[in-house]
């Protein structure tokens, strides 16, 4: 990384699910980049700015509520489109053969929350569906992101269910454990078996790497501060203050905004939003149920040279690095692989309190998304979209670049009794009027080959390219909405003529027979609203192999 990529340093002063972390700042309602996503007429959206110094390429994205995926050029004109029968679930990738690898929302009888997916689809350049693979049943559900690997396999993030009894036996606080258990995340590597199959060839489970200091009679008991390589099963709720009335109002406002964007659906079993947490064993309201998603991993990226995987965990405001060079058996333990530590965490950063190192180690990440390796640099570096939800000094987003403390022979460096570095980012982008740049959820950032950074402020559907000095040289407001119904959890596809959103025939519904209603207020997910939100956007270089000899 040249000095031009790191021109200045700016020191920076959890939905224990997607929503719970949004309680951290009690002031007012959730706003995005000003103006709000639905403030501009469609005619005023599209290309905003194109300046000298922008990185030439095509920008790939799928609106959250749309069945279409778009490639737009530097003038904001659509040059290619793919069409699916499903809304996204949530990420899309252009492969080197010109195929589109797209996640899709499948619907599930058990798992329900922000970012749910369940289906992977591969389309040819001309739109032919070549692979249609479902990873959704009563035991697991793919969500948020996938990562295509060099050899053709695909990594995916998934929830897996653990009962309340299993969670308590693992050392989780019973008062913070839902009646229906919790959903730890796992990473699964799939070898495609076309046209609709897949073979699991590797897997890693967070559940295999727990520690807790809550109950000495239960499994995994130990000193959390002495084992940063392990995951505290109570980390998502430690030292969480009681909710104020203002915090509850803020939660309700932000959940409604997510629903309008189509990021989450509606549940018929929603209860009083001010009821607070349910008693142990009780049914709980929707917000309490979402505590089952106690990690909320929202991004995955692969470093081919080092054979490492980075994960972004919104609920913990941390990024983790794990070793992909292990076998599945080694990934379940603490030995083996290139780094000799099996599936234990090799590195973590963003909120050192999660492993007992909060004092003297300032918190940097706030409900972040899209931790992504920067290509071609050593030591390894990451870019991270730091959403900023819950910052103590205001509501604003930033993009962080960090240099990892990595040595080719010794691996990730950590002083005994200390926190993983760095102590501050190598580079930070914040808007000059910092609170004008804010997306409380979704979003992403990509380091481009010319040193600029492409930023997706997801809730507004705003994509912009910024130089290392903080100058915006390209900006685009997504003009495309969508009216794809979300379907109903555990029920049949939506009957209003949209694409299927429910689970496959024959799957049982959730306990009690209740399902999910379709979106309110017609297309777009809210009254009169045509949602433009984007989970992420990616700039494709013009010399990308997948674009060779393509007519645009």
Q: What is the DSSP string of 243-271?
A: PPHHHHHHHHHHHHHHHHHTSS-EETT--
What was the pLDDT predicted at 43?
Answer: 64
- The answer as to whether 213 is a domain residue is yes
CB 469 within 8 A of CB 485: no
95 strand-pairing partners: none
Q: Which domain covers residue 144, as residue numbers?
A: 3-547
Sheet containing strand 88-94, edge to edge, reads 88-94, 100-105, 118-123, 129-134
What was the pLDDT predicted at 315?
Answer: 95
Task: Tell me whether strands 406-407 and 411-412 are parallel, antiparallel or unpaired.
Answer: antiparallel
What was the pLDDT predicted at 286?
Answer: 46
What was the pLDDT predicted at 298?
Answer: 98
- Distances in Å between the Cα of 163 and the Cα atoms of 281, 502, 510 are 11, 24, 15
What was the pLDDT predicted at 235?
Answer: 93
What was the pLDDT predicted at 359?
Answer: 73
**Quick one: which of 175, 179, 193, 277 has its CA closest to 234?**
175
- What is the C-alpha separation between 403 and 382, in angstroms, rounded? 7
User: For the range 132-136, what are the long-range contacts, defined as Cβ-Cβ under 8 Å and sequence gap of 24 or more?
Assistant: 132/195, 132/196, 133/190, 133/192, 133/196, 133/197, 133/198, 134/106, 134/196, 134/504, 135/188, 135/190, 135/198, 136/106, 136/107, 136/108, 136/111, 136/503
- The answer as to whether 195 is a domain residue is yes
- The answer as to whether 552 is a domain residue is no
482: its two tokens: 């969508």
**Quick one: which of 344, 363, 341, 343 has its CA closest to 352?**
363
- Other C-beta atoms closer than 10 Å to the C-beta of 543 total 10
313 strand-pairing partners: 297, 318
- The answer as to whether 275 is a domain residue is yes
- The answer as to whether 114 is a domain residue is yes
What was the pLDDT predicted at 361?
Answer: 76
Per-residue pLDDT tens, the chain, 552 aa: give them: 333 333 333 333 333 333 433 333 323 333 334 333 334 555 689 999 999 999 999 999 999 999 999 999 999 999 999 999 999 999 999 999 999 999 999 989 999 888 999 999 999 999 999 999 999 999 999 999 999 999 999 999 999 999 999 999 999 999 999 999 999 999 999 999 999 999 999 999 999 999 999 999 999 999 999 999 999 999 998 865 445 567 667 778 888 888 887 777 654 343 333 223 333 333 344 445 457 999 999 999 999 999 999 999 999 999 999 999 999 999 999 999 999 999 999 999 999 999 988 776 789 999 999 999 999 999 999 999 999 999 999 999 999 999 999 999 999 999 988 999 999 999 999 999 999 999 999 999 999 999 999 999 999 999 999 999 999 999 999 999 987 775 544 432 332 222 223 333 222 232 232 222 222 222 223 323 347 999 999 999 999 999 999 988
346: its two tokens: 């090799």
State how far Cα 458 lies from the chain centre.
Answer: 11
What was the pLDDT predicted at 240?
Answer: 53
- The answer as to whether 289 is a domain residue is yes
State how far Cα 366 lies from the chain centre.
Answer: 13
What was the pLDDT predicted at 44?
Answer: 85
What was the pLDDT predicted at 39?
Answer: 41
- Distances in Å between the Cα of 225 and the Cα atoms of 169, 230, 355, 356, 455 are 21, 10, 5, 5, 35
Place of tokens 């909710």: 243
What was the pLDDT predicted at 239?
Answer: 67
CB 178 within 8 A of CB 291: yes
- The answer as to whether 178 is a domain residue is yes
Q: How many domains does the chain have?
A: 1
- The answer as to whether 48 is a domain residue is yes
Residue 331 belongs to what H/E stretch?
helix 328-331
């Amino acid at each position: 990384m040249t000095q031009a990529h790191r021109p200045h340093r700016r020191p920076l002063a959890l939905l224990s699910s997607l929503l719970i972390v949004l309680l951290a700042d009690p002031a007012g309602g959730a706003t995005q980049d000003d103006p709000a996503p639905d403030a501009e007429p469609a005619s005023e959206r599209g290309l905003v700015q194109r300046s000298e110094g922008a990185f030439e390429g095509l920008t790939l994205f799928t609106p959250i509520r749309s069945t279409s995926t778009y490639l737009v050029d530097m003038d904001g004109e659509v040059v290619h489109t793919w069409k699916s029968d499903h809304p996204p679930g949530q990420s899309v990738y252009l492969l080197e053969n010109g195929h589109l690898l797209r996640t899709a929302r499948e619907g599930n009888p058990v798992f329900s929350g922000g970012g749910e997916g369940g289906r992977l689809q591969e389309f040819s350049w001309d739109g032919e569906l070549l692979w249609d693979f479902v990873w959704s049943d009563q035991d697991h559900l793919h969500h948020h992101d996938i990562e295509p690997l060099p050899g053709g396999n695909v990594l995916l993030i998934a929830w897996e269910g653990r009962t309340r009894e299993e969670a308590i036996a693992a050392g989780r606080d019973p008062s913070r454990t839902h009646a229906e258990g919790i959903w730890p995340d796992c990473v699964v590597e799939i070898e495609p078996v076309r046209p609709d199959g897949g073979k699991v060839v590797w897997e890693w489970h967070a559940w295999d790497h727990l520690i807790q200091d809550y109950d000495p009679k239960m499994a995994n008991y130990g000193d959390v501060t002495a084992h940063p390589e392990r995951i505290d099963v109570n980390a998502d709720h430690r030292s969480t203050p009681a909710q104020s009335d203002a915090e509850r109002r803020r939660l309700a406002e932000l959940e409604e905004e997510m629903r309008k964007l189509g990021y989450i659906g509606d549940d018929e079993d929603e209860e009083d939003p001010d009821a607070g947490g349910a008693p142990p064993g009780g049914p709980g309201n929707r917000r309490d149920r979402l505590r089952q998603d106690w990690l909320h991993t929202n991004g995955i990226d692969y470093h081919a040279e080092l054979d490492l995987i980075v994960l972004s965990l919104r609920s913990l405001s941390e990024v983790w690095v794990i070793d992909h060079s292990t076998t599945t058996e080694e990934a379940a333990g603490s030995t083996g692989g290139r780094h000799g530590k099996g599936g234990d965490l090799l590195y973590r950063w963003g909120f050192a309190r999660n492993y007992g190192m909060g004092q003297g180690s300032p918190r940097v990440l706030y409900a972040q998304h899209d931790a992504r390796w920067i290509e071609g640099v050593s030591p390894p570096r990451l870019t991270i979209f730091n959403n900023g939800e819950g910052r103590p000094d205001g509501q604003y987003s930033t993009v962080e670049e960090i240099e990892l403390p990595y040595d080719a022979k010794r691996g990730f460096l950590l002083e005994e009794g200390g926190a993983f570095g760095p102590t501050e980012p190598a580079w930070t982008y914040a808007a000059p009027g910092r609170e004008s740049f804010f997306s409380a959820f979704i979003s992403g950032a990509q380091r481009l080959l010319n040193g600029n950074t492409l930023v997706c402020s997801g809730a507004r559907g705003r994509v912009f390219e910024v130089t290392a000095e903080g100058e915006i040289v390209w900006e685009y407001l997504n003009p495309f909405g969508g009216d794809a119904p979300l379907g109903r959890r555990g029920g049949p596809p939506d009957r209003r003529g949209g694409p299927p959103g429910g689970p496959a025939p024959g799957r049982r519904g959730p306990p009690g027979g209740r399902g999910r209603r379709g979106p309110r207020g017609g297309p777009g997910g809210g009254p009169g609203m045509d949602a433009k939100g984007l989970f992420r956007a990616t700039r494709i270089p013009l010399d990308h192999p997948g674009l060779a000899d393509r007519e645009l």
